[in-house]
Amino acid sequence: MLSPSRRWPLVHYVLLAMLLVVGKTQAASSILIWPIDPVLEADQQASALWLENRGNEPVNLQVRVFGWSQSEFAEQYQNQRDVIGSPPVARMEPGEKQLVRLTRTREMPVGTEQAYRIIIDEIPAAKRPDADGQASAAIQFQMRYSIPLFAYGTGLWSKEDLNRPRDPKGVGTPDLSWRKVNEGGRAYLEIRNRGAIHARLTDVKIELGGQYHAVNEGLLGYVLPGATMRWPLPEQLTGGQELQLRINAAPQPQSIKISQ
């Protein structure tokens, strides 16, 4: 059982990066999950998450939704009951699909974005006995999938939806600034978000000598509203003054000058 607040190891970010490559993604255990960016709009009571077993064996899955915050440059997860996933446990036969309903139990504060993580754990099946009737000693690996979920209060939204006309004044945007920090003999890229919604950062580059050099070519991470996050910076890029990156899957990269 997870503690109410806990920092998670790098493996969960690796799994997340796997899930965020395309709209429908198949991970190593043959579980397909979509959409990979679910939201709960202010006028939605529930949202849908689909799971599909693309493997050749039945799988047992546990679904939990945790509150997500960022503090001291680290991800924090908390037990919560504002959004629940149903069913919490599912058994899926090969080729079977399962709908997980993400339901809010209360209204979100007006004009705010609340962040959650949907954690899907694969529960290992019981070990099969061998020819002598003994349980197999083979190592069983448990997969974990981590998917972001954002819920909005009245007056704020983030994603375009042609089927849901909304007031353009309510659209939320990140407001990012960055700087370089040296601590403990290492250089870090530090990004702060003063905006109303999260920033998902991809294709991050630093300008140096008139050329852009990659800090991370895929998903660097998220910065939630009001939070500040850090990532190790390659030593050869510490002299750059301008950051270029894609925010929330924007078609064009955005440039941000260093904060003084």
Indicate if the pLDDT at residue 12 is higher than 50: no
Question: pTM of this prediction?
Answer: 0.84
Which strands sit side by side in the sheet containing 176-183, from one edge to the other?
A: 176-183, 186-193, 228-232
Model pLDDT for residues 137-150, shown as the tens digit of each residue: 555 667 999 999 99
Domain ranges of the chain: 11-170, 176-257
Residue 15 has pLDDT above 60, yes or no: no
Q: Which amino acid is at 82?
A: D
**Identity of the amino acid at 235:** E
Is the per-residue pLDDT at 26 higher than 90? no
Quick: pLDDT tens for 116-126.
999 999 998 76
- Which tokens is 251 given? 């078609």
Residue 260 is predicted with a pLDDT of 65
Amino acid at 39: V
pLDDT for the residue 110: 97
Q: What is the pLDDT of residues 179-205, one digit of tens each?
A: 999 999 999 999 999 999 999 999 999
The pLDDT value recorded for residue 163 is 83
Q: 14: burial class by Cβ within 10 Å (0-12, 13-18, 19+)?
A: exposed
Q: Which of 74, 80, 78, 79 is nearest to 8 (CA)?
A: 74
> Band of the pLDDT at 237, cuts 50, 70, 90?
confident
Cβ atoms of 147 and 117 closer than 8 Å: yes
Span 35-92, pLDDT tens digits: 999 999 999 999 999 999 999 999 999 999 999 999 999 999 999 999 999 999 999 9
Given this model, what pLDDT does residue 238 score?
76
Q: 11-170 and 176-257: same fold?
A: yes
Average pLDDT over residues 220-230: 98
Class of domain 176-257: mainly beta
- Identify residue 175 by its one-letter amino acid code: D
Residues with Cβ within 8 Å of 64's Cβ and at least 6 positions away in sequence, in order, are: 2, 85, 88, 118, 119, 121
d(CA 100, CA 47): 9
Query: CA-to-CA distance for 165 and 235, rounded, in angstroms?
Result: 47
User: Which class does domain 11-170 fall in?
Assistant: mainly beta
Q: Is pLDDT at 8 greater than 90 in this prediction?
A: no
pLDDT at 129 (0 to 100) = 61
> What is the distance between the alpha carbons of residues 48 and 122, in angstroms, rounded to a whole number?
19
Burial of residue 78 (number of CB atoms within 10 Å: 0-12, 13-18, 19+) = middle
Output the CA torsion sign for 173, 175, 181, 184.
negative
What does the alpha-carbon distance between residue 70 and residue 222 come to, in Å, rounded to a whole number?
Answer: 9
Instruction: Report pLDDT for 235.
Output: 78
What is the percentage of the chain residues whose pLDDT exceeds 70?
A: 82
Ranges 66-70, 117-121, 132-136, 153-157: which has the least confidence: 132-136
Average pLDDT value over all residues in the chain: 86
